[in-house]
């Protein structure tokens, strides 16, 4: 990911911090949070701690009320890292409380902007728009308002991107200049453009099996697009054996959660010792946390008893429904919607609770909703449950465990 400088502005509680964290979590490297707030009373201490908990342990917090430039230069992280500075207006307030004059303040601002542009990592800075209200009634407040506006202009001019947050919605008011594009000449006539390929692979590599959800509702238009992508999956004999049951009823979700709890208690018995302790520590569902639950089913009788392609492999109907689940998952990731697959559930009890006919098979029970941030790695990998296998050890040539003789694949790093 290329280095950028991003300014996030907006009013109070407009979603600036949430957006900044989401942008920061897109980076694979270390994440640093420079806090300009001073914890002068208990309410502020509680607020700072709450925000620190929301960021999570992957964010390294550095408190610096007066000289964020010095702190940023001390970090010296790598090109894949990100630094988030929150926020300019508190920094300005701190400097005014130190009775610094305008010239000294603006000099520090200029130095910080130059530093942000010079360092090799992405810098995200949060500020506030405070000049849209009434004129303050005292000289110091008017000075604060005027300086804040001037500082915001300086950062907006010097930074690559400027995003104005309005009621949680990011509005880009300055976009980064695009670097000269590499030749769009394609090696294959049907190849996607470089940008389209990048988006596809990004959705694949950043897809996560999520367990942590926010209560915010899912836009029905967005969910409609996601299900349309699922409906365009490949299927044996163009059978399209899937159906999608959308669940938003809290009582039904509670019933499903009880199903999980019972099945999970049985699954837990398969482990002992440290493995059992680790299993018990894992969050393995988000049934009641997520605003939407989705059940993906397979109608094994659709299109009659003889479906093209199923004669020798009748189970390809279920395989087709799984393709729909994968399409759904990737489309949801592209939309910024989290999906979690709950497989620890009794399918027969589930069928009975949802009134499914005998010929309908459960393929997937999915939790769907917004999330504070997507996991950097698969949750089970981060928890130490398992590791990703090396692809080169899973690919054979011409026969089981056959080695390459003339045609050898090249895998990405």
Exposure string over 361-385, b if 16+ CB within 10 A, otherwise e: bbbbbbbbbbbebbbbeebeeeeee
User: Longest Cα pair distance anywhere in the chain, in angstroms?
Assistant: 84
Distance CA 329, CA 207 (A): 7
- pLDDT at residue 245 in the model: 98
Its pTM surpasses 0.75: no
**For the chain, what is the total number of helices (H) and then of strands (E)?**
13, 11
pLDDT at residue 167 tops 70: yes
pLDDT at residue 412 tops 90: no
Average pLDDT of the segment spanning 72-91:
84
How do residues 251-279 score in pLDDT, each as one tens digit?
Answer: 999 999 999 999 999 999 999 999 999 99
Instruction: Break the chain into its structural domains and give their ranges.
Output: 5-174, 204-393
What crossing angle do the helices spanning 68-75 and 102-118 adopt, rounded to 10°? 20
Please give the CATH topology (third level) of the domain spanning 5-174: Rossmann fold (3.40.50)
Instruction: Give the residue ranges of DSSP H helices in 77-193.
Output: 88-97, 102-118, 139-158
Contact between 303 and 231 under an 8 Å Cβ cutoff? The reply is no
Contact between 368 and 227 under an 8 Å Cβ cutoff? The reply is no
The tokens describing 199, both together, are: 């988006």
pLDDT band, residue 76 (cuts 50/70/90): low
Pairing of strands 338-341, 292-299: unpaired
pLDDT band, residue 25 (cuts 50/70/90): confident
Contact between 361 and 329 under an 8 Å Cβ cutoff? The reply is no
pLDDT at residue 183 tops 60: no
pLDDT at residue 238 tops 90: yes
Please give the CATH topology (third level) of the domain spanning 204-393: NADH Oxidase (3.40.109)
Closest to 75 in 3D by CA, of 41, 40, 122: 122
Distance CA 138, CA 120 (A): 42
Distance CA 409, CA 398 (A): 13
- pLDDT at residue 186 in the model: 59
Average pLDDT of the segment spanning 298-305:
95
Which of 45-54, 230-239, 285-294 is predicted with the least confidence, judged by mean pLDDT?
45-54
pLDDT band, residue 79 (cuts 50/70/90): low
Taken in order 272, 275, 276, 277, the sign of the CA dihedral is positive
How do residues 353-398 score in pLDDT, each as one tens digit?
Answer: 999 999 999 999 999 999 999 999 999 999 999 999 999 999 999 9
pLDDT band, residue 12 (cuts 50/70/90): confident
Mean pLDDT (the chain, rounded):
92
Residue 175: DSSP 8-state? P
Exposure string over 164-199, b if 16+ CB within 10 A, otherwise e: bbeeeebeeeeeeeeeeeeeeeeeeeeeeeeeeeee
Contact between 71 and 62 under an 8 Å Cβ cutoff? The reply is yes
Closest to 81 in 3D by CA, of 138, 137, 3: 3
pLDDT at residue 181 tops 60: no
> CA 231 → CA 92, 176, 223, 289, 296, distances in Å?
53, 36, 12, 26, 11
Strand (E) or helix (H) holding 160:
none
Question: What would the DSSP string read from start to end of 305-327?
Answer: S--TT-SS-TTHHHHHHHHHHHH
Pairing of strands 5-10, 122-126: parallel
- pLDDT at residue 123 in the model: 95
- pLDDT at residue 303 in the model: 94
pLDDT at residue 37 tops 80: yes
Exposure string over 72-107, b if 16+ CB within 10 A, otherwise e: beeeebeeebbbbbbbbbbbbbbbbeeebeeeebee
More confident residue, 189 or 236: 236
More confident residue, 1 or 167: 167
pLDDT at residue 403 tops 60: yes
Distance from chain centroid for Cα 306: 43
Contact between 279 and 377 under an 8 Å Cβ cutoff? The reply is no
User: Which residues, in sequence order, are bridge partners of residue 33?
Assistant: 61, 84
pLDDT at residue 26 tops 60: yes
Distance CA 93, CA 247 (A): 48
Average pLDDT of the segment spanning 342-349:
97
SS3 51: helix
């Amino acid at each position: 990911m290329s280095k950028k400088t991003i300014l996030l502005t907006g009013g109070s509680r407009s979603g600036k911090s949430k957006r900044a964290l989401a942008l920061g979590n897109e980076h694979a490297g270390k994440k640093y949070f420079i806090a300009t707030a001073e914890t002068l009373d208990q309410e502020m201490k509680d607020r700072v701690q709450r925000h620190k908990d929301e960021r999570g342990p992957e964010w390294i917090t550095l408190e610096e009320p007066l000289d964020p430039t010095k702190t940023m230069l001390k970090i010296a992280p790598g090109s894949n890292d990100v630094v988030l500075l929150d926020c300019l207006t508190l920094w300005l307030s701190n400097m005014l409380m130190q009775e610094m004059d305008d010239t000294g303040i603006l000099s520090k601002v200029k130095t910080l902007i130059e530093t942000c542009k010079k360092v090799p990592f992405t810098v995200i800075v949060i500020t506030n728009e405070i000049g849209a209200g009434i004129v303050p009634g005292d000289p110091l407040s008017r000075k604060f308002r005027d300086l804040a506006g001037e500082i915001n202009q300086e950062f907006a001019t010097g930074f690559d991107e400027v995003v104005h947050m309005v009621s949680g919605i990011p509005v880009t008011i300055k976009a980064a200049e695009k670097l000269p594009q590499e030749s769009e000449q394609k090696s294959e006539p049907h190849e996607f453009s470089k940008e389209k390929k990048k988006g596809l692979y990004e959705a694949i590599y950043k897809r996560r099996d999520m367990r942590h959800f926010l209560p915010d509702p899912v836009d029905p238009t967005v969910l409609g697009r996601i299900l349309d992508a699922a409906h365009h999956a490949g299927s044996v004999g163009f059978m399209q054996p899937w159906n999608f049951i959308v669940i938003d009823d809290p009582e039904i979700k509670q019933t499903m959660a009880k199903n999980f709890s019972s099945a999970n208690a049985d699954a837990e018995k398969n482990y002992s010792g440290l493995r059992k302790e680790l299993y018990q520590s894992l969050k393995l569902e988000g049934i009641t946390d997520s605003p939407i639950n989705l059940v993906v089913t397979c109608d094994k009788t659709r299109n009659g008893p003889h479906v093209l392609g199923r004669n020798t492999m009748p189970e390809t109907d279920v395989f087709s429904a799984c393709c729909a689940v994968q399409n759904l998952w990737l489309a949801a990731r592209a939309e910024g919607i989290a999906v979690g697959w709950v497989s620890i559930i009794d399918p027969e009890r589930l069928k009975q609770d949802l009134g499914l006919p005998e010929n309908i098979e459960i393929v997937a029970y999915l939790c769907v909703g917004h999330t504070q941030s997507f996991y950097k790695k698969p949750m089970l990998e981060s928890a130490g449950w398992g590791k990703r296998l090396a692809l080169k050890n899973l690919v054979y040539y011409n026969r089981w465990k056959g080695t390459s003789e003339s045609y050898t694949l090249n895998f990405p790093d």
